[in-house]
Amino acid sequence: MDKSYLIIDTPKNCRTCPLCVGYKDKDYSIEYWCPFVPAIFDESYDEKSEYCPLKKMPNKREKEYNPEDLCDVADWYDDGFIDGFNDCLDTLMD
């Protein structure tokens, strides 16, 4: 099966999330429903739910060079891992 990913600006709360649906209830107050969170939120809810599946993108990793360990094979492995991690982030963000 093919995989997909979605990159959006992280909302500050459920009300500003583009995945959340707002509607008027019988009292004509606006409530918000998220298909990923098992709850309904009213206009006063001003934080992100603990059940929110949206996660912040990780920051790029930086290499730490130690001149005394230039011949250590583990450092070469770590450098390659960091390069691959940063390349993956670059590809997702383009």
Contacts of residue 57, Cβ cutoff 8 Å, sequence gap at least 6: 7, 89, 92, 93
The amino acid sitting at 91 is T
- If you average pLDDT over each of 7-16, 34-43, 46-55, which comes out highest? 7-16
CA end-to-end distance (rounded Å), the chain: 24
Domain ranges of the chain: 7-55, 57-94
**Is the model's pTM score more than 0.85?**
no
Render pLDDT for 20-41 as a digit per residue (tens, 0 to 9).
Answer: 887 776 676 777 788 887 777 7
pLDDT of residue 57: 83
